[in-house]
């Protein structure tokens, strides 16, 4: 008997270097036994050294892609990555408002690791007002959380209170990712769902190429939600998958990348 894969969706930008964006999402979806569908918001010219160009897809065509996928596939869970502009965010928001049964993992992609801006300034307010309220979970890193709270986060003991503060401000479960903390021995992330605090820690892996880790993490959460896990279970399993992918990294020309198909990982 053939296995039925749950349907996942990524709404994000293309990374021509293959390490992040839609490309990383699809590798993650496939690795975790879901069938990945896509909506492109932007094309980027980039590699691990940086982004050299961004081409925005028209909001009308973003809507066309969404409709084409949703009218055919029973989407279990979706994630957003690089949305780039206010008009694209509004198009995506309308879709999720009309499809509330699709579990949305919102990765508030604002700035690339290289420093390139991936969200226009006038789009931040639309992200906050139009899309965040429709999400099942948001997954900011420290820089993104600092922008959303308008205050710096740079210490371990801030993770729990700031995760709670984000929930209080936006009324959406928050996974605050602490991997960018300076001099960290452990990579610790905090999930607050409005009732309980969950901490997920793994040893900090030094000298690893972290390009695409945020995309991979949120795509893995999306995959596990599509498989029926609850939020805390999905995040815990996604953390395990991300750590294994970093630990088992692969050589790709002059650098290394995440291994999206680690041999020792079991999705159960």
pLDDT, tens digit (0-9, with 9 covering 90-100), for 36-69: 999 999 999 998 888 899 999 999 999 999 999 9
Residue 262 lies in a domain: no
Q: What per-residue confidence (pLDDT) applies to 266? A: 76
Least confident interval from 9-18, 32-41, 173-182: 173-182
Please indicate, yes or no, if residue 268 is contained in any of the structural domains. no
CA quadruple 169, 175, 178, 180: dihedral sign? negative
88 is a domain residue: yes
Assess if residue 155 is contained within a domain: yes
Q: Is residue 266 part of a domain?
A: no
Residues facing 67 on adjacent strands:
none
Domain that holds residue 163: 7-257
Q: Which tops the pLDDT comparison, 43 or 180?
A: 43
Domain count, the chain: 1
Instruction: Determine, yes or no, domain membership for 1.
Output: no
At 262 the pLDDT is 85
Confidence band, pLDDT 50/70/90 cuts, at residue 112 = low
In a domain, 2, yes or no: no
Q: Is residue 69 part of a domain?
A: yes
- With 60 as the cut, is the pLDDT of residue 115 above it? no
The pLDDT assigned to 116 comes to 63
Q: Which residues are catalytic?
A: 177, 210, 212-215
What tens digit of pLDDT does each residue of 73-108 get?
999 999 999 999 999 999 999 999 999 999 999 999
C-alpha 263/C-alpha 17 separation (Å) is 23
CATH of the domain at 127: 3.40.1190.20
User: What is the value of pTM for the model shown?
Assistant: 0.96
């Amino acid at each position: 008997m053939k296995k039925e894969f749950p349907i996942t969706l990524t709404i994000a930008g293309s990374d021509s270097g293959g390490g992040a964006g839609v490309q990383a999402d699809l590798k993650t979806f496939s690795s975790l036994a879901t069938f990945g569908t896509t909506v492109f918001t932007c094309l980027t010219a980039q590699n691990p050294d940086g982004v050299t160009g961004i081409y925005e897809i028209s909001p009308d065509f973003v809507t066309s892609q969404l409709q084409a996928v949703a009218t055919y596939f029973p989407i279990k869970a979706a994630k957003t990555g690089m949305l780039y502009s206010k008009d694209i965010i509004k198009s995506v928001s309308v879709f999720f408002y009309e499809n509330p049964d699709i579990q949305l993992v919102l990765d508030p992609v604002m700035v690339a690791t290289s420093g390139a801006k991936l969200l226009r300034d006038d789009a931040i307010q639309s992200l906050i007002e139009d899309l965040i309220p429709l999400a099942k979970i948001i997954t900011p890193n420290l820089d993104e959380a600092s922008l959303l709270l308008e205050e710096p986060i740079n210490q371990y003991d801030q993770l729990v209170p700031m995760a709670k503060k984000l929930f209080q401000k936006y009324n959406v479960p928050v996974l605050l990712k602490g991997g960018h903390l300076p001099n960290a021995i452990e990579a610790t992330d905090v999930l607050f769902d409005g009732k309980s605090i969950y901490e997920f820690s793994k040893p900090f892996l030094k000298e690893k190429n972290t390009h695409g880790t945020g995309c991979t993490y949120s795509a893995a959460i999306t995959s596990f939600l599509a498989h029926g896990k609850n939020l805390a279970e999905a995040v815990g399993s996604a953390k395990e998958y991300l750590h294994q992918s970093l630990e088992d990294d692969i050589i790709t020309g002059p650098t290394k990348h995440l291994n999206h198909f680690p041999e020792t990982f079991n999705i159960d």
